[in-house]
Amino acid sequence: MSSEGMKITLRMWRQKNKSAPGKFVEYKLSGVSEDSSFLEMIDILNEMLVHKGEEPVVFDHDCREGICGMCSMTINGVPHGPERKTTVCQLHMRKFKDGDVITIEPWRSKSFPIIRDLIVDRGAFDRIIQAGGFISARTGGTQDANAILISKPVADYAMDAAACIGCGACVAACKNASAMLFVAAKASQLNSLPQGKPEKDRRVLAMVKQMDAEGFGNCTNFGECQAACPKGITLDHIAQLNRDYLVAGVKKTLGLLK
Amino acid sequence: MNLNSNIPEGPLAQKWQSHKAHIKLVNPANRRKYKVIVIGSGLAGASASATLAELGYNVSCFCYQDSPRRAHSIAAQGGINAAKNYQNDGDSVYRLFYDTIKGGDFRAREANVYRLAEVSGNIIDQMVAQGVPFARDYGGLLDNRSFGGAQVSRTFYARGQTGQQLLLGAYSQMSKQIGLGKIKMHNRHEMLDVVLVKDAEGVPHAKGVIVRNLLTGEVEKHSADAVLICSGGYGNAFYLSTNAQGCSVTAAFRAYKRGAGFANPCYTQIHPTCIPVHGTQQSKLTLMSESLRNDGRVWAPKNKDTAAKIRAKQMKATDVPETDRDYYLERKYPSFGNLAPRDISSRAAKEACDDGRGVAPGSGNGVYLDFAESIGRLGESSIAERYGNLFEMYERITGENAYKTPMMIFPAVHYTMGGLWVDYNLMSNVPGLFVLGEANFSDHGANRLGASALMQGLADGYFVIPYTLGNYLAQVGAGAPALDNPAFAEAEASVKAFNDKIMSVQGDESARDLHIRLGHILWEKCGMARSKESLTQALAEIPALREEFWKRVRVPGDSKDLNIELERAGRVADFLEFAEVMVRDALQREESCGGHFRVEHQYPDGEAKRDDENFAFVGVWEYQGENKAPTLEKEPLKYEEVKFATRSYK
Ligand SMILES: Cc1cc2nc3c(=O)[nH]c(=O)nc-3n(C[C@H](O)[C@H](O)[C@H](O)COP(=O)(O)OP(=O)(O)OC[C@H]3O[C@@H](n4cnc5c(N)ncnc54)[C@H](O)[C@@H]3O)c2cc1C
Ligand code: FES
């Protein structure tokens, strides 16, 4: 890294609240270390603004290690930015060039209303989980953990699905703003495990119903969600969800589900 | 302060069973008359909320993130301990108990630790039942790995994302109860005070909280029959740590200012394997899980010149011949080797670097964690299977491929053993105020063993509080106070006054800059090695910095609106006050134990020298008012089962 660091121009989305009109504001930064993370670069901007007495850019972030799913912004049109399988908090400035102009916006989806600047309301995801994204397991009174044998491939498959961090990049990337990848990941994890089988049908029906109620769009298999997913969740979970949903729907029609 | 630990009578192994059999219960039909406030949705808060709601209590849970699923428990990588003895390698409840007491350098409470070990197995059963995809072998049985400070394999894991999977499990249980209306979840709310209301005898009980809605800036009052603080640790006092950006001491500290004792604040854990600091723009440090030490070997060059060449980038790690490598943990601690406990491993890394053998360019503060030998033995794919996501994370942050060249690591602030004082029932000295998870002080003494924090958070939330809270509630009876009780108005006014005071400064310095400066003071003077001299300096510098904060901090915007700088400034203000308590505690503790290493107290070979005669106590600090020195009270630690022994991992 040269001692001066990088010069970067930001085109940053600023919006006061849900109903106020938003716009891009340009900011110029210099001295950005290429070892800094993308969010540390925004910290530099915010420090500059605070020192001038201006309000900093509001963005969601917490763990800064790619696991809490809080960070969420679209960089040059790509949710979480250019590096594959990487959340924006793990993206580093060495992936950019000195002099770059970078456009930063919030997730865009009507189911994720903008709150301010780069933060949106992702409560819809929580409500989908509340509707059915769980296995009912009362505390205490469970059997010994090794009494349930789960073969390694099944455990691995469940873990692949369970890696979802609930960031919402899949929705932001999808031109229909579909939440299928998110819903499918959770359903796949729970439905594939023996512990999750008893509630399988109920679960998929309830989660999909809530997903639709939240106004997410339909999945038309473009696969942008998979490309944008920082945790590498794959489309086969969506296929699995579609199958599980079909089966549950048939059972329901036949009156086999109470 | 009433520091009665309320440890039940009877032999250690029967205390918990007999306590559960004798404490009071709330009858199922009456539980819905009680309301419980839970601050935090990490493993401790989520498991407590879910279980209490399931039992029938009405729960209100608060977190500062936009969803309970994002609490920092999510970031735990390596695993969770449990005395299942699935590997048939000699583990038992007693061994886990003993390892934890010894790992904590004989500064934890025996009875609490025994209970923790006792319920540990249930945790794994519970989490599996919820669908947590722990690692399994081909036969379908659960797999285990080893963690520092233990000679058995008792750590359960889900790739390098154990905390995530456990938290999502607890979150799913909590979500079910939110859906059923038994938990009211308040995301993006920060607790800024607890409200104490006097009972008929004039004894103050915790009966509510004051929170700030972070989206609107509105200050709200909430009342309940009891308050549970599950707000995590205070490692961010050091500015740079492995904690999340929002982690703070605020919830615990505001409770302290209302009379709750703060125990052992000087016990901070510096984790040996983190990615070294890269420069001044850095906002956090990233942990490389301790599990890596199962297969990675820690070393520094034997020769200072070699280290100097590496720092100057004239030489690479892979160019250093075997004969010039000092695998110092294997050399100094042959029986535990690379799996020596954290405090010991961290100090050894510091020693190597202080000796001029550090390898990080610039600061020199770095040593190697080398996988070449295990890749040679097991193949790259086995290593990728075990730690792939950690290697990827390392590469994203540093740009280096750790399959080809060793990782560079250095210790970083990671965990805080200190916390609010609680008795055996997890209740603080303030009746009705319970503290769970990392926010309390109870189980890890002066040093926590790896994979034991997840265990503790879940033990507290799933298996302890449902009983002990019922015992309290049954005694006080149902009846959350009305919000027009003057105690609420007073607390609300004090929160507003505090925020207004911050807003009124309008100086020339950002809260972050002041926080960075506090971090430097603490790291240099109350970090891995502490001395009377350094601590005395810190005790002069911190109040000066605090004064500067109140003259110079600049917070733009409005307090009655979303304001991230006000949030930050409030947390920094608390850290600035709390840091002083931490330093005072480090100063009074004239011994070395666990994460607290006083340079005056060491053996000639550099090992920590404990003083059981004079310091086998919990140091509990009581707030005395603004700009007054807090006072220290002591809870003596009595060991009935184990004998004090010099901790040796050699
Ligand atoms: C990077 C990392 C890796 C780790 N790896 C391991 C491991 O492998 N094994 C292990 O056993 N331990 C590990 N630990 C330690 C362990 O993860 C934590 O100690 C534990 O998860 C803490 O859980 P908790 O529920 O007490 O707190 P947290 O999970 O930190 O949750 C705190 C909660 O409190 C809320 N909160 C805080 N303050 C307020 C406030 N003022 N108002 C409202 N809400 C508030 C937050 O929103 C959050 O919901 C690791 C820790 C870190 C940082
Ligand atoms: S801040 Fe947690 S995933 Fe990015």
Average pLDDT over residues B29-51: 98
Among B69, B342, B386, B546, which one carries the catalytic annotation?
B342
Domain ranges of chain A: 6-115, 122-253
Confidence band, pLDDT 50/70/90 cuts, at residue A2: very low
In the predicted model, is pLDDT for residue B466 greater than 80? yes
B134, B176, B562: residue with CB nearest A134: B176
Distance B70 CA to ligand 2 centre (A): 9
Average pLDDT over residues A123-130: 98
Distance B232 CA to ligand 1 centre (A): 5
User: How many C-beta neighbours within 10 Å does residue B295 have?
Assistant: 20
Q: Is B484 on the interface with A (CB under 8 A)?
A: no
The CATH number of B486-615 is: 1.20.58.100
Residue located via tokens 């970078």:
A102
Question: Does the structure's ipTM exceed the value 0.90?
Answer: yes
Cβ-based neighbours of B246, under 8 Å, separated by 6 or more = A62, B64, B65, B567, B571
CB-CB neighbors (< 8 A) of B141 in chain A: 146, 149
**CA–CA distance, B171 with B531 (Å, rounded to integer):** 43
Cβ-based neighbours of B82, under 8 Å, separated by 6 or more = B96, B120, B121, B123, B124, B154, B156, B455
Distance A129 CA to ligand 2 centre (A): 20
| pLDDT at site B131 | 97
**CA–CA distance, B151 with B649 (Å, rounded to integer):** 10
| pLDDT at site A3 | 54
**CA–CA distance, B498 with B495 (Å, rounded to integer):** 5
User: How many C-beta neighbours within 10 Å does residue A161 have?
Assistant: 25
**Are A115 and A59 contacting, i.e. CB atoms less than 8 angstroms apart?**
no
**Are B635 and B317 contacting, i.e. CB atoms less than 8 angstroms apart?**
no
CATH topology of domain A122-253: Fumarate Reductase Iron-sulfur Protein; Chain B, domain 2 (1.10.1060)
> Which of 3.40.50.300, 3.100.10.20, 3.10.20.30, 3.90.79.10 is the CATH number of A6-115?
3.10.20.30
Query: Phi and psi (nearest 5°) for B189?
Result: -130, 135
CB atoms A145 and B392 under 8 Å: no
The string over B75-102, giving b where at least 16 C-beta atoms fall within 10 Å of a residue's C-beta and e elsewhere, is bbbbbbbbbbbbbeeebebbbbbbbbbb
Distance B202 CA to ligand 1 centre (A): 35
Residues with CB under 6 A from ligand 1: B 39-45, 62-65, 71-73, 75-80, 162-163, 190-191, 230-233, 242-243, 248, 250-251, 287, 414-415, 437-439, 451-454, 457
CA-derived radius of gyration, chain B: 24
Each residue of A224-237: pLDDT tens digit? 999 999 999 999 99
CB-CB neighbors (< 8 A) of B176 in chain A: 130, 134, 136
Each residue of A158-188: pLDDT tens digit? 999 999 999 999 999 999 999 999 999 999 9
Question: CA-nearest residue of chain A to B174?
Answer: A130
Residue with CA nearest ligand 1 atom 30 = B232
Cα angle at B271 between B417 and B351, to 5 degrees?
A: 115
- Averaged pLDDT score across all residues of chain A: 96
| pLDDT at site A141 | 83
CA nearest neighbour of A41 among A77, A12, A17, A79:
A12
Each residue of B416-433: pLDDT tens digit? 999 999 999 999 999 999
| pLDDT at site A181 | 98
Average pLDDT over residues B157-171: 96
B273-412 has CATH 3.40.630.30 classification? no
Distance B358 CA to ligand 1 centre (A): 31
In the predicted model, is pLDDT for residue B388 greater than 90? no
Confidence band, pLDDT 50/70/90 cuts, at residue A257: confident
**Are B252 and B229 contacting, i.e. CB atoms less than 8 angstroms apart?**
yes
CA nearest neighbour of A141 among B178, B458, B462, B452:
B462
Q: CA B527 from chain center: how many Å?
A: 16
**Are A118 and A106 contacting, i.e. CB atoms less than 8 angstroms apart?**
yes
Query: Phi and psi (nearest 5°) for B617?
Result: -145, 160
Average pLDDT over residues B636-645: 94
| pLDDT at site B215 | 98
Cβ-based neighbours of A41, under 8 Å, separated by 6 or more = A8, A29, A32, A93, B281
CA A198 to chain B, closest CA, distance in angstroms equals: 12
3-state secondary structure of B80: strand
CA nearest neighbour of A62 among A26, A28, A89:
A89
Q: How many residues does chain B have?
A: 650
Active site residue B448: no
In the predicted model, is pLDDT for residue A258 greater than 80? no
**CA–CA distance, A186 with A241 (Å, rounded to integer):** 10
CB atoms B133 and A189 under 8 Å: yes
Which DSSP helix (H) or strand (E) runs through B576?
Answer: helix B564-588
Confidence band, pLDDT 50/70/90 cuts, at residue A149: very high
CA-derived radius of gyration, chain A: 21
Question: CA-nearest residue of chain A to B68?
Answer: A126
**Are B191 and B62 contacting, i.e. CB atoms less than 8 angstroms apart?**
yes
Each residue of B502-545: pLDDT tens digit? 999 999 999 999 999 999 999 999 999 999 999 999 999 999 99
Confidence band, pLDDT 50/70/90 cuts, at residue B606: confident
CB atoms A139 and B556 under 8 Å: no
A27-36, B11-20, B68-77, B274-283, range with the lowest pLDDT: B274-283
Q: Which two tokens stand for residue A179?
A: 């939440």
Confidence band, pLDDT 50/70/90 cuts, at residue A1: very low
CB atoms A139 and B244 under 8 Å: no
**Are B420 and B252 contacting, i.e. CB atoms less than 8 angstroms apart?**
yes
Ligand 1 atom closest to B452 (CA): 11
Average pLDDT over residues B51-78: 97
Residue with CA nearest ligand 1 atom 3 = B76
Which residues in chain B (298-327) have CB-CB distances under 8 A to chain A?
A: none
Residue located via tokens 């797999």:
B143
**CA–CA distance, B167 with B68 (Å, rounded to integer):** 9
CB-CB neighbors (< 8 A) of A55 in chain B: 556-557, 565
Domain ranges of chain B: 273-412, 486-615
Which DSSP helix (H) or strand (E) runs through B574?
Answer: helix B564-588
In the predicted model, is pLDDT for residue B120 greater than 90? yes
